[in-house]
Amino acid sequence: MFGTKVNTDSEKIKELLSRRIGSYEDRPNIWPSREEAEKRFKEGKRLRIYLGIDPTGPDLHLGHTVPLLFLKQLLGLGHRPVLVIGDFTARIGDPTGKDATRKPLTKKEVENNMKNYLGQVYKILPKKDFDVEYNSSWLFKMSLEDFFNLASNISVFELKTRSMFREREQNKSFLGIHEFLYPLMQGYDSVALNIDGEVGGVDQTFNMLIGRKLVEKLLNKEKLVFGTRLLVDAESGRKMSKTEGGIISLADPAEDMFGKTMKTVPDEMIATVFELCTEKPLQWIADKKGSDLYEFKKELAFELTKMYHGEKEAIKAKNEWERVFSKGELPEQIEEVPGNGMKLVDFITEHALATSSSEAKRLLDQGAVSINEEVVKEWWQVLKRGDVIRVGPRKFLKVF
């Protein structure tokens, strides 16, 4: 793909700059402007545009796929995507909007987290069709003198304009100097790479613009910035991310990915997830919006599962979902665990179907527990070999 000619097709460029792009103060989240970005793409020069991902957790989730699919669109136009794994910046941690400082990660934790990252990225971007960089390769080498020279390019007043910094200050919450300087270190990635552009979620706009300013000052060039939309719950307004719950991980088994999509994607967000997280044509999505929501969601679950596990596994996951949830049948395969002679409440707790005995009893009182498909509320009931325990709609265990 890298050796192919750059595609300057206006319609494809238009979709690139609209489908997954967020907004900022009622304008596209593109810097310096959408018009300038269009001009650069139509010039026919191959651009290198990067996405930075800090390995703060063990897996990539659906939210990560939005900018990754943007990079895939870029690749299709003949440009060169770059993935920067923030193995240095992850140990500091991008500040959150919460009161508490993010817990620093050790080098070992970061290494463990990023073990599976590339394997998951390869499900979207073909191997060898993009560059992989680790920001420790330049940040670890930076001397104190180099760092102070870098810091002299950005004022304290500029950093204090970041909304989460202002909120911490207003709430009199602790703000570590390491957090305050995080945007400077992430911004330097753009300089080290001599990059043409950067893509990231709109929540990363501040950091990306710091990098844009550093590129302008230190390299005398104009960096493009693209802020992609976030997966936001339509009712709560919360981001579907590692810290907010509702995670669909790229490492989830096919049946879990299908089931999580059915259970965690609100009806109001089906079309949005289709648009941001799949490659389905926009016209197809628009035509489907008025269809039956349950069927529409099943199509989304199938599409996502097919993207990361293949069509055969997606068909199996769909059939299993319909068997268990539409027809009320038991799964074809149920894990067998020891429990013959145990009390039901002890079995539920010991095998992590509930976090505690009190939660187990609460689930029993709510009618959320069944033995052999019959609802049971007696926590003291003794189990026998062959009993199938269901807790909630998706948790099954068989006693041996």
pLDDT digits (tens, 9 = 90+) for 338-380: 989 899 989 998 888 888 888 888 888 888 888 887 888 888 8
The CATH number of the domain where 119 resides is what? Answer: 3.40.50.620
- H-helix segments, the chain: 10-16, 34-42, 62-76, 107-113, 117-121, 136-139, 144-151, 156-159, 163-170, 177-180, 182-193, 205-219, 254-264, 270-277, 282-288, 293-309, 311-321, 344-350, 357-365
In the chain, the percentage of residues whose pLDDT exceeds 70 is: 91
69 and 202 in a single domain? The answer is yes
In a domain, 81, yes or no: yes
pLDDT value at 237 more than 90: no
In a domain, 152, yes or no: yes
319 and 386 in a single domain? The answer is no
pLDDT in the model for residue 358: 83
| Confidence tier at 206 by pLDDT (50, 70, 90) | very high
DSSP-derived 3-state class of residue 140: coil
pLDDT in the model for residue 400: 86
**Selection from 12, 20, 113 nearest residue 62 by Cα:** 20
| Range 208-219 average pLDDT | 96
In a domain, 139, yes or no: yes
pLDDT in the model for residue 244: 42
In a domain, 285, yes or no: yes
pLDDT value at 242 more than 70: no
18 and 112 in a single domain? The answer is yes
213 and 318 in a single domain? The answer is no
| Range 136-162 average pLDDT | 92
In a domain, 276, yes or no: yes
pLDDT in the model for residue 64: 94
Out of 1-5, 130-134, 195-199, least confident range: 1-5
Compute the mean pLDDT over every residue in the chain, rounded to the nearest whole number: 88
pLDDT in the model for residue 305: 97
317 and 384 in a single domain? The answer is no
Report how far apart, in Å, the C-alpha atoms of 32 and of each of 67, 140, 197, 212, 222 are. 18, 31, 11, 9, 8
| Range 5-26 average pLDDT | 90
178 and 139 in a single domain? The answer is yes
Q: Are 253 and 244 in contact (CB under 8 A)?
A: no
| Range 203-213 average pLDDT | 94
Query: From CA 175, how far away is CA 98, in angstroms rounded?
Result: 11
The CATH number of the domain where 362 resides is what? Answer: 3.10.290.10
| Confidence tier at 396 by pLDDT (50, 70, 90) | confident
156 and 54 in a single domain? The answer is yes
| Confidence tier at 102 by pLDDT (50, 70, 90) | low
In a domain, 162, yes or no: yes
pLDDT value at 149 more than 90: yes
157 and 268 in a single domain? The answer is no
Structure tokens, 185:
């270190």
Out of 59-68, 121-130, 338-347, 351-360, least confident range: 351-360
287-312: burial string, b at 16+ Cβ within 10 Å, e else: ebeeeeeeebbbbbbbbbbbbbbeee
pLDDT, tens digit, for every residue of 252-299?
899 889 988 988 898 889 999 999 999 999 999 999 988 899 999 999
Amino acid at residue number 322 = E
207 and 262 in a single domain? The answer is no
Higher-pLDDT residue of 216 and 395 is 216
pLDDT in the model for residue 243: 44
The total of structural domains in the chain comes to 3
Higher-pLDDT residue of 288 and 242 is 288
In a domain, 235, yes or no: no
Q: Domain residues for 379?
A: 336-399
Query: From CA 342, how far away is CA 371, in angstroms rounded?
Result: 13
279 and 366 in a single domain? The answer is no
393 and 346 in a single domain? The answer is yes
| Confidence tier at 110 by pLDDT (50, 70, 90) | confident
